Structure 1
Amino acid sequence: MPTRSIDIRNELEGVITKVGFKSGGIVEQGDILVQLDISNELAQLEAIEAEIQIANLDVNRFGELLKSRASSKDQYDRAKAQLAVAEAREKELRATIAKKTLKAPFSGKAGLHRLEVGSFLPASTVITRVNGLANEVWIDFQVPQEYAYLSEGTQVTVTSASQLSGEASVIALAQEISTTSRNMMVRAELRFDEETQNKQVHFKPGSLVSIDIPIEQVESVIILPTLAIRYDAFGTYVYTLNKDDSGSYRATRKPIETITQESNQTVVKSGLSYGDLIATMGSYKLREGMLVNIAENTSLNAARVSQ
């Protein structure tokens, strides 16, 4: 995601009289993106400015008369109040005009739009999104709670869908771990210089990337087909297939601890040993101690844990 990004919305409804940017074009801070019809407000503003001039004259005139005791203080105070009311109405009109003049809050690149002069724009319509022009992007990703040791400044490797990589630095971490996924949100910043500027196009906002993070120590894990994993109120488990005294295979429930799931595979941290034979396809039918016949095509029905 860009370091600066905002959806531009109109607070007030109105008819579009000007569209000041092109779809996907560059906009500068302060550029008028969309102008709504303000002809009525401009006419009222002209009248109010005339009232303010008259009110100012009255205040000055009654002020001079008050000094010579030719006017009462009530008349002077009334003239000042009328001036204050006129000035307040002027501010209100200018605020309305400003709300109907949508400007770019910062320099950046605009998104696509279908705006046309003369069309009516309802209030709170998304005009476009403006992404700031910067030499860095933010990457938000989640890590399992086992990696909560990450800290600001940690270097991670970010790889785009087109297999271009760059080194990013962790700049922020969530203060809590999700109670549903047990993951922690992390934000890293990927910077580009003159030599790597051409890579930035491969890291557009919303694009899919992969993240490689450093680990404290190498840890042995086991990868199983996800369909072998079972869940119940007591936790996560699989069924191992073990020979009994007669040489037949029987199902044995084995509690396990998993780390993460990728596509159709799940990484198992503990609970299994190398050489264990795991029921995969059809494991949902098994119960503890059940006699199991293994089909000839074992690759589809059971997986053996190996190094």
Structure 2
Amino acid sequence: MRILAWLITLSVCVVVTIALGGIKYLQISSAMAAAAAFPPPYETVTVAQVEETDWTPVRRLTGTVRAPQFVNLVADETGRIIELPHPAGSVVEAGDVLLKLFDEDLTAQREAVAAEQKLVSTQLKRIEQLKSQSLASQDQFDTLMARSQSLQAQGAALEARMRRLVIRASFAGRLGIYTQSVGDIMQDGEFLTTLTGLEDERWIDFKVPQGVAMVREGDTVRIFDIDDQLVGEATVMAVADALTAGIRAFDVRAKITGPALRHGELVYVEVRSGRNRNAFRVPNNSVRWNMDGPHVFEIIDAEPDSFQDHTAVLRKVSVLGEQNGEIFLVGDIEGGDRIAVQGAFKLYEGALVAVASPARSGK
């Protein structure tokens, strides 16, 4: 009886175990089937088409705008201002008086010298007559002649000093801003204002470091303002033969006509630094970087029965340069390939991809 009871108990345990195992198997099978039916992860991106183009390597250098006619107006003498006939910012003609200092004392001295010179000239005429009659000596004549020459020199010196009290426009131009007023004392060497010519031509002066580029007269360079906006193209008009001591660079001057560039303004000069070469053009946000360098993700057709129609393949590239929101590169890509643009940062090798928009140009 006891053996029978044990056999019944054992049989019941086996049946229960088999039943529980069957239930668990069905649950696991159902879960696996549900997991198999669940869609795999994918990333949504936009794509662009790789374009084959020519790339010219360039370098950006800093340059300074110069007006061909430009001068700083500085006082040559110390004195009180008695005339400032033109307001700041006005246009003046060549020869116009821009500043006049007090000169009445020099005018009086010049008149005194002129009067004495007139007297000496009269005495010289009399001495010459007396000398012809042997009534005057050569010594008297030489003394008066030396005195006359001395007075002429004094008069010339006074005239020079009086000219230095007046500043005139050396060319037609526009005055800058000044703060002096009539009655102020102007010191010798004190800056008054600037005078800039009215012509549209501007010079761009810049330095080219040795080995960066070979610039020659007649070459064309592109000029950009500090906001990176293209101003125009300038023609190289002069290239220095010698390098600047200390920095190993040579001076270059280019000319440009038309743009409203101010004297002394900072600009960027783009010069060619090498020969043209074939390259590929892509949007700048399509290029990614990792420990191995720059790369792009090519979007290709996925295998049959994949959840999405496209997949991502990593292509290594080398960046040549960037311009106007586009990157020029070479590498394991070809013209016409489709690459990820927006959303490329989410991709990895073999990732499934949903294309949010049709392929478009990389421009």
TM-score by length of 1: 0.65
Alpha-carbon distance, 1:165 to partner: 2.7
Q: Which residue of 1 aligns with 2:214?
A: 149
For 1:146 and 1:65, how far apart are their aligned partners in 2? Answer: 81
Query: Can you give the 5+ residue segments of structure 2 that lack an aligned partner in the other structure?
Result: 1-65, 280-289, 293-319, 322-329, 333-344, 346-363
Mapping for residues 196-207 of structure 1, pairs under 5 Å: 200-201=259-260, 203-207=261-265
Mapping for residues 2-151 of structure 1, pairs under 5 Å: 2-151=67-216
> Greater CA radius of gyration, 1 or 2?
2
| Percent of residue pairs identical | 27
Match of 2:252 among 166, 173, 186: 186
For 1:34 and 1:135, how far apart are their aligned partners in 2? Answer: 26
Q: Which residue of 2 aligns with 1:214?
A: 272
Q: Tell me the SS of whatever aligns to 1:146.
A: coil
Indicate if the aligned counterparts of 1:9 and 1:124 stay in contact, CA closer than 8 A.
yes
1:109-159 CA distances to partner (integer Å, 9 max, x unpaired)? 111101111111111001111122223100112334334421011011223
Indicate if the aligned counterparts of 2:201 and 2:256 stay in contact, CA closer than 8 A.
yes
CA RMSD of aligned residues (A): 2.9
TM-score by length of 2: 0.55
For 1:146 and 1:80, how far apart are their aligned partners in 2? Answer: 67
For 1:82 and 1:138, how far apart are their aligned partners in 2? Answer: 53
Q: Which has the higher contact order (CA 8 A, sep 6+)?
A: 2
For 1:183 and 1:218, how far apart are their aligned partners in 2? Answer: 24
For 1:171 and 1:96, how far apart are their aligned partners in 2? Answer: 39
Change (3 A) 1:41 1:179: closer
Aligned residues: 222
Indicate if the aligned counterparts of 1:148 and 1:184 stay in contact, CA closer than 8 A.
no
Indicate if the aligned counterparts of 1:20 and 1:31 stay in contact, CA closer than 8 A.
no
Alpha-carbon distance, 1:207 to partner: 2.3
Alpha-carbon distance, 1:177 to partner: 4.1
For 2:125 and 2:190, how far apart are their aligned partners in 1? Answer: 47
For 1:47 and 1:177, how far apart are their aligned partners in 2? Answer: 56
Q: One-letter code of the match for 2:150?
A: V
For 1:178 and 1:76, how far apart are their aligned partners in 2? Answer: 60
Alpha-carbon distance, 1:29 to partner: 1.7
Q: Tell me the SS of whatever aligns to 1:59.
A: helix
